[in-house]
Amino acid sequence: MIGLLGAAGPINEEGRCTVSLSVGIAGLPNVGKSTLLNALTHANAAASNYPFCTIESNVGVTPVPDPDLRRLEELLSPKETVPTTIRFVDIAGLVEGASEGEGLGNTFLGHIREVDAILHVVRCFANDDVVHTTGEPDPVRDVEVVETELLLADLETATRAQRKWAKMALTGKDAGKAEAEAFARAVEALGRGTPIRAVDFSAEERELLSEARFLTAKPSLYVANTDESDPTGKGPLPSALREAMGAERVLPVAVGIEEEISELEPAEQQEFLKELGLEETALDLVVSACYRLLGLITFYTIAHDKLSAWQLRRGGAAAEAAGRIHSDMEEGFIRAEVMSLDDLLRLGTRQALHDQGLIRIAGRDYEVRDKDVLQFHFRA
């Protein structure tokens, strides 16, 4: 049986793929993680002025801001429009000794293992009325506290794995030798304070190490939680964080103000942002940064009067894109019809694109481009 996207074919829910990007919001206790989650997702997570207000991880899912999806919706007037989403996980605060279980550390570290990327919130303002677990805020020191715990937890994981595979390699067989060598490299790097993501492992080594789900392999960004008087982060504390971690990895966000902005209507949001000298909301800022960090693009599908947006890694092939929708579609992939978003918005209909020869037929290895509009043919 041959079908189009979502058309004929026995497609059940078991093959459906999870398309939400998952980002963990981490940091010391009481630095604004839950408030940021509320600003990003309206999750209504508890946020109070004391450490460990968050005990279990809070989760919020929000649509990815996408003006192009709105333009397509206005043009095509589908019965249903489904944006792609991003899932934020508010992970309770890490403290010194977390790698050894301090402050419920093992539970919190476990939550980090499950996300695609880490959004590390760092307090960058002084306020005697807001408790800080290590005394006065020092963003560089505070980052080091958290990242040291991640390194120590990974070092323990790598050491155990290296010993296991080395013991297997002693049997005289090939099994375990490559794994032991890869984990030995990981142990050496972690021991000198180098995160896994910064080590030049081969593709084969990274595959062997993937079972460990290393914490320091996660891509990470830093949210400099600034005072409301410094929403653009020009003060000394956010500046120190940028100098230490690299300006491209630091996002200044006045988290308390952003929570208030998130409750406003869009027109009011823009007016408020303008007054503060900001160009975009925290959600726009964070989502754009996460997409860049993880190398993600967006593609669109239109079928059965339903317009949908999807996430895909940059460089991903058409068959992989089909698999983001349903595993059966990747397995039974035949071809994809590819339309340019700009062409579709300019000409208005699929038929007009067809008449002008602007619909391309692509095989399973076609590299999907950002903002492609795709229709898949597959054997169901």
* CA 350 centroid distance within chain: 33
Q: Rounded distance, CA 3 to CA 379, Å?
A: 6
- Among residues 204, 36, 33, 39, the alpha carbon closest in space to that of 111 is found at 33
117 within domain boundaries: yes
Among 184, 217, 250, the domain boundary falls at: 217
Shared-domain flag, residues 44 and 179: yes
Q: Are residues 56 and 6 in the same domain?
A: no
DSSP, res 332: T
Q: 193 and 319 in one domain?
A: no
Whole-number Å distance between alpha carbons of 294 and 84: 15
Query: Looking at the domain assignment, is residue 266 inside a domain?
Result: no
Q: Write out residues in the chain with pLDDT < 50, as ranges.
A: 1-18, 45-56, 98-99, 101-105
- Whether residues 94 and 8 share a domain: the answer is no
Residue pair 262/276 in contact (Cβ under 8 Å)? The answer is no
Domain identity same for 145 and 172: yes
Sign of the torsion formed by the C-alpha atoms of 225, 227, 233 and 236:
negative
Smallest CA-to-CA distance from 156 within 89, 92, 105, 207 is with 105
Tokens of 78: 């589908």
Which residue in the block uniquely carries the two structure tokens 């960090």? 293
CA 190, CA 99: separation in Å to the nearest integer? 14
What lies within 8 Å, CB to CB, of 268 at 6+ separation is: none
In a domain, 100, yes or no: yes
- Show the tokens assigned to 235: 């003060």
Instruction: State the pLDDT at residue 276.
Output: 85
125: CATH: 1.10.150.300
Query: Do 75 and 60 have their domain in common?
Result: yes
* C-alpha distances in Å from residue 111, one per residue of 24, 45, 91, 107: 8, 17, 7, 7
Q: Are residues 37 and 139 in the same domain?
A: yes
344 within domain boundaries: yes
Task: Tell me the residue ranges of DSSP E strands in the chain.
Answer: 2-4, 21-26, 58-63, 80-82, 85-90, 117-123, 220-225, 250-253, 296-303, 306-313, 333-340, 360-362, 372-379
Instruction: Return the pLDDT at 17.
Output: 42
Shared domain for 7 and 80, answered yes or no, is no
* pLDDT for the residue numbered 99: 47
| Domain final residue, candidates 176, 198, 217 | 217
**CATH code: domain of residue 363:** 3.10.20.30
Q: Is residue 211 part of a domain?
A: yes
Predicted pLDDT of residue 136: 79
Cα–Cα distance, 261 to 318 (Å, whole number): 39
Q: Do 7 and 117 fall within a single domain?
A: no
Residue ending a domain, among 197, 217, 237, is 217
Task: With 0.95 as the threshold, say if the pTM is over it.
Answer: no
* Residue-level pLDDT at 98: 45
162 in the same domain as 148: yes
For residue 227, being part of any structural domain is answered with no
- Which has the closest alpha carbon to 83: 310, 297, 312, 281? 310
The amino acid sitting at 373 is V
223 found inside a domain = no
With 0-12 / 13-18 / 19 or more C-beta atoms within 10 angstroms meaning exposed / middle / buried, residue 82 is middle
Domain tally, the chain: 2
Q: Which domain holds residue 309?
A: 2-15+296-379
Note the pLDDT of residue 1.
33
Instruction: Name residue 138's amino acid.
Output: D
Same domain? For 28 and 57 the reply is yes
pLDDT in tens, 92-137: 666 555 445 444 445 567 778 889 999 999 999 887 666 556 667 8
Distance of CA 338 to the CA centre of its chain: 27
The predicted pLDDT at position 2 comes to 38
Same domain, 301 and 163: no
Residue pair 121/26 in contact (Cβ under 8 Å)? The answer is yes
- Tell me the helices (H) and strands (E) count for the chain, helix number first: 14, 13
Task: Give the Cα separation of 170 and 189 in Å (integer).
Answer: 24
Judge whether 279 lies within some domain. Answer: no
At residue 162, the pLDDT reads 94
